[in-house]
Structure 1
Amino acid sequence: MTPLLDVRDLVVRYGTRQVVDRVSFTVGAGEAVGLVGPSGCGKSTTALAVLRLLQPAAGTVRFAGVDLTHLPERELRRLRPRFQPVFQDPHGALSPRRRIRDQIAEPLRVHGRWSRADGPARVDELMERVGLSPAHGLRLPHELSGGQCQRVVIARALATRPELLVLDEPTSALDPSLRAEILNLLMDLRASLRVGFLLISHDHAAVRHVSDRVLTMRDGRLIP
């Protein structure tokens, strides 16, 4: 069976420095794969290359059998709703001046999936799914806690019904109690939606709690 995500011999360089060195792994449909390692080991750079937010120097990234590595932007845009990011800093990921409802709806509008008839109900459904009430949708990000903002970011990532979430340190900006809440939310979402995860973190225990498989990275390489 073709993996949902298939990364082969990925190389990423910053100038003359090789940050990711021939990294290969797969993520199956509905599978959660953890990628752990110390700060600076290249795991976040790997995530950016997987999302095609950064161009690799060599290797391939295939999503659902399609090589994303040199895909023209117009064709890449058609695929982007199927794989979505969740980044580390929830406040930084949200516009400070826009209501929460509008930010959750944004991917639907950007990708031409917004409907006046169904869109508001879809936003309400997404908020409920991540543990927020419709009243939260009327607020601005500074009126929410860090944990609530991360729930908003997750809801927005789910808006287009993706098959894969690339989660880069999604709990590191939160205190321990909120980390547990978000990890439990991710486990519930994975079970109910059958969405695949590439979960990147320096927290081995958290990743093991959520993932089917855990890969370890050091100095730009995967190690046994």
Structure 2
Amino acid sequence: MNPSPPLLDVRELVVRYGAAVAVDRVSFTLRAGETLALTGPSGCGKSSTAAAVLRLRRPAGGEVWFEGRELTRLGERELRPLRPAMQPVFQDPYGSLSPRQRIRAAIAEPLRVQGRWDAVTGPARVAELLETVGLDPAHGDRLPHELSGGQCQRAGIARALASDPRLLVLDEPVSALDPSVRAGILNLLAGLQERRGLGYLFISHDMALVRHFADRTAEMRAGRIERIV
């Protein structure tokens, strides 16, 4: 019996900023339910790789296959129905949410944009998402600055989950949080992965954290993957 194809298959990816090469022929695979960490020093190409995977930046070369579809040559109209399945969670829990938008509205926004908002069932869906990430539904009435950093990151994760993704790209998701809060966020992510079979592309410079959280680690330097362990 043949194994299932990878959720994400990156082949010879190249990202350039002008003449500078930020990502130089990077290749890796990620399966559903697996966490692959990209690690390495600042400026080594981790976040540029993530941006290209999410098609927030068009690669200069190579291929990105997601659930059997090659993304790099797709136009925005063709990408639009695929974007909900690939969601980012960013480093700055406050910067990823509008400071003037209440948490409830921020979580509902992806549903509205994707045409999946229902005035009857939508509020219950938002409350369910808040509970899923360990927040009281009453937190939905607050603005981001009225939450702690850990609570705000949980709200960001709830917003990502609203799209029913199969891949989360986690770009330093706990590095801006107090050490006492990090374990709770990592435990939340681990539980979500176990229940939902999510694939995680986990970007971090913290090797101790990566060894604890990731199934495999791709070590990057100067735009290249030196080894995957």
2:129 and 2:91 map into 1 onto residues whose CA distance is: 20
Amino acid at match of 1:3: P
Residue 121 of structure 1 aligns to a residue whose secondary structure is helix
2:219 aligned with 1:216, yes or no? yes
Alpha carbons 1:34, 1:208 under 8 Å: kept: no
Identity rate of aligned residues, in percent?
68
Alpha-carbon offset, residue 208 of structure 1:
2.1
Alpha-carbon offset, residue 57 of structure 1:
0.6
Give the equivalent residue in structure 2 for 1:202. 205
Give the equivalent residue in structure 2 for 1:94. 97
Alpha-carbon offset, residue 216 of structure 1:
0.6
Paired residues for 1:26-65 under 5 Å? 26-65=29-68
Paired residues for 1:10-159 under 5 Å? 10-159=13-162
TM-score, scaled relative to structure 1: 0.98
Q: Which runs of 4+ in 1 moved over 4 A?
A: none
Could you give the per-residue CA deviations for residues 168-205 of structure 1, whole angstroms, max 9, x where no partner exists? Answer: 01011111111111111111111111111000010112
Q: RMSD across aligned C-alpha pairs, in angstroms? A: 0.8
2:164 aligned with 1:161, yes or no? yes
- Gaps of at least 5 residues in structure 2 are none
- How many pairs were matched up? 224
Residue 93 of structure 1 aligns to a residue whose secondary structure is coil
Alpha-carbon offset, residue 29 of structure 1:
1.4
Amino acid at match of 1:154: I
2:195 aligned with 1:192, yes or no? yes
Give the equivalent residue in structure 1 for 2:173. 170
1:117 and 1:192 map into 2 onto residues whose CA distance is: 26
Residue 84 of structure 2 aligns to a residue whose secondary structure is helix
Alpha carbons 1:107, 1:159 under 8 Å: kept: yes
- Gaps of at least 5 residues in structure 1 are none
2:207 and 2:123 map into 1 onto residues whose CA distance is: 38
